Structures are given as structure tokens and as C-alpha cells.
Structure 1
Amino acid sequence: MSSLTTVQVRFSETDAIGHVNNVSYFIYLEQARVDFIKSLQADREHPDLFLAVVSMTCDFIRQAFFDQVLIIETTVTDIGGKSFTLKHTMKEKQTDDTIAVGQSVVVLLDREKNKAVPLNAGWKEKLRCHQE
């Protein structure tokens, strides 16, 4: 099972060449990651724990342009002891062409200690439901 996020490219997200600026892709991936995590409705009984991104990459496959509608599919590719990895596949809605493929590595962090802590069984179970 995957999570889908829809983004419509705004004019302000393009650059002087007329295509989407590379920084905007990371904003789109952030939105997809946030939407995915919200969809998990994971355990929030520990407010001292939060998620933090420790790595993020994006491979640009095709150009995107103003007013295109992009669909970002997010899946889980790896579940570790303290982290999980998300894959984000961004496609143009009308043509289904792949625009970009990104990856985010996320850890569960103890706010007070500022250290990664193990993912509990509840997190792992919810993540497995979205694993490729």
C-alpha cells in the first residue's frame, strides 16, 4: 500500500529557464513525507519523541513546468531499528511520466536527549503496511 500526494506546480516554483527549480522538488517531497506520516496516525502518546529527517535525495528524471499536476507516491523501502526509509516517486498526472524519484531516511528522536531511539512495535507495524 502506498500514500499519494497531489501537487500543482505554482509559477513561483519555476526558475528563469521556465522549469521547476530543483529546490521545489524537495518541498514537494517534504509534503509527501508529511502526508504519509500523518496518514499513519502513529502512536503520539510520547510527546518527547518526534521524527527527524537524516538524509534526503532526489534524482531528477524529467523537467516539470508551471501548472502541471504531479502525483507523488510514497512507499516504505526499509525499516531499521531506529529509522525507516521512504521512496517518493513523482509522476506527471496527465502523462504518467516519471519526473523525479526521491528518498528520505527518517529517525525517531528523543527531544530531550537529541538521540535516535528504537522504533516501537506500533510504528513498525504501521510502516510494514506501506512497505514495497
Structure 2
Amino acid sequence: MLVEKIVTRFSDTDGLGHINNTMLPVWFEGARNPIFQIFTPDLSLKKWQLILAKFDVEFHGELFYGEDIELRSGISRIGSSSFDVYQEAWQDGRKCASGTAVHVHFDHEEKASKPLSDDLKEKLLKHPFSKDD
């Protein structure tokens, strides 16, 4: 599992005084950078090998400005050409949001998915995380 800390900003809040729900997909995507680097170590968009097929976010509780948020990320499923990244946002010892992003290993020139190599699968397996962890 990968862990990243987010320091909330005043601009992250909404009119109700808590963190705007639109921030979670942005934070979750940023926390996936170490996973992206498995495929493209320098994060060069010219060499990018992934597409996002689907993502969801489930809210379990409010997040508040002025308190750090811990993002937890890891691999929850590996298929033949796709994999799931499961993520959670924690604040004050509470799981406040969770989500899953489905990524596909993709050849942008051919416009087609491509199989995950055994080496890529092995690297992904170094970051396991499931909803039950």
C-alpha cells in the first residue's frame, strides 16, 4: 500500500464548510503517480501506456479544512490487460472516502489494449490493497 499526506487548503472547501467532493478524484489521481511510474518512470506523456477506463468515489463522511488527510492507495485487482487501484481518504482516524480506478495498459498508436507483462504484474503486486485491509 502507498500512503500520501494531503495538507488541505482553504480553496479546497465548499459553501458548506467542508472539503469539496470534487477534490477527491483529483487527490486520488495524484496519489496514483507511483503506480503510473511503473509504466512510465519519467511520467512522459509521449511514452504514456495507460488509459483510465472507469473510476468511482464513495463518500463515508465529511472531510474538513485545517486537518491533514491521508490517502492510501494500492492494487486490488490485476487482469490480463487492466488493473484496479483501490484508494481511501482518512482524516482523524476515520475513513471518509474510498474509490476504485480501473486502468488499462494501452497502445496509443494502435488504439488497443495490450497485455500486462509478468514483470509489470510483479511490480504491481508489490502494492497490494483491498477494501478489507
TM range (shorter): 0.7 to 0.9
Q: Are 2:40 and 2:48, in contact at CA under 8 Å, matched by a contact in 1?
A: no
Secondary structure of the 1:22 match is coil
Task: Please give the alpha-carbon distance, in whole angstroms, between the structure 2 residues aligned to 1:74 and 1:121.
Answer: 21
* 1:77-116 matches, cutoff 5 A: 77-92=76-91, 95-116=92-113
1:109 counterpart letter in structure 2: F
Q: How many residues align?
A: 125
The C-alpha deviation readout for 1:59-106, integer Å capped at 9, x for no partner, is 0111111122111111211000000001101111xx211110111111
Which runs of no fewer than 5 residues in structure 2 stay unpaired? none
The CA RMSD measured in Å over matched residues stands at 1.7
1:49–1:7 distance in 2 versus 1, CA, 3 Å: closer
Percent pairwise identity: 26
Could you state the TM-score of these two structures normalised by the residue count of structure 1?
0.86
Which runs of no fewer than 5 residues in structure 1 stay unpaired? none
Could you state the TM-score of these two structures normalised by the residue count of structure 2?
0.85
Q: Are 2:90 and 2:97, in contact at CA under 8 Å, matched by a contact in 1?
A: yes
Aligned to 1:37: 36
Secondary structure of the 2:29 match is helix
Runs of 4+ in 1 over 6 A off after TM superposition: none
Q: Are 1:85 and 1:104, in contact at CA under 8 Å, matched by a contact in 2?
A: yes
1:108 counterpart letter in structure 2: H
Aligned to 1:120: 117
Which stretch has the larger CA shift, 29-38 or 80-89? 29-38
